[in-house]
Amino acid sequence: MPQHTISFRIRPDGRVEELVSGISGAGCEQLTERIEARLGNVQQRQPTAEAYQGQAATVNPEQTLSTPVT
Amino acid sequence: MSHFSTVKTELRDREALVAALRDLGHNPSDGEQPVRGYRGQTVLADLAVASPEGSELGFRWNPTSGSYELVTDLDLWKQPIPVERFLAKLTQQYALRSILAASLEEGFQVTEQRQATDGSIELVVSRWDG
Q: Do A38 and B88 touch (CB under 8 A)?
A: no
**pLDDT top residue among B2 and A52:** B2
What was the pLDDT predicted at A49? 58
Share of chain B above pLDDT 90, in %: 58
- For residue A69, pLDDT beyond 70: no
What was the pLDDT predicted at A28? 66
CA distance A12 to A10: 7
- For residue B3, pLDDT beyond 70: no
Residues 6+ positions from B86 with CB-CB distance below 8 Å: B79
Taking each continuous run of H as one helix and of E as one strand, the counts in chain B are: 2, 8
CB B13 within 8 A of CB B98: yes
- For residue A62, pLDDT beyond 50: no
**pLDDT top residue among A42 and A68:** A42
**pLDDT top residue among A56 and A21:** A21
Q: Which of A:1-60 have CB within 8 Å of B?
A: 1-22, 24-25, 27, 30-32, 34-48, 50-51, 59
Q: Do A45 and B102 touch (CB under 8 A)?
A: no
What was the pLDDT predicted at A34? 84
- The ipTM assigned to this model is 0.85
pLDDT, chain A, mean:
69
**pLDDT top residue among B12 and B32:** B12
| Mean pLDDT calculated for residue range A28-34 | 79
- For residue A53, pLDDT beyond 50: no
CB atoms within 10 A of CB A48: 21
Residue A62 distance to chain B (closest CA, Å): 11
Q: Which of B:13-72 have CB within 8 Å of A?
A: 13, 16, 67
Q: If 0-12 CB within 10 Å is exposed, 13-18 middle and 19+ buried, where does residue B21 land?
A: buried
What was the pLDDT predicted at A57? 43
Give the HSE-up count for residue B124: Cα atoms under 13 Å, Cβ half-sphere. 8
pLDDT tens across B32-89, in order? Answer: 888 888 777 888 899 999 877 777 889 999 999 999 999 988 888 888 899 999 999 9
CA distance A67 to A62: 13
| Category of A54 on φ-ψ map: left (φ > 0), alpha (ψ -120 to 50) or beta | left
CB atoms within 10 A of CB B61: 15
What was the pLDDT predicted at A26? 66
Angle between helices B83-105 and B14-23 (to 10 degrees): 120
Q: Which of A1-5, A16-20, B27-31 is least confident?
A: A1-5
Q: Which residues from A are below 8 Å from B125, CB to CB?
A: 5-6, 8, 31
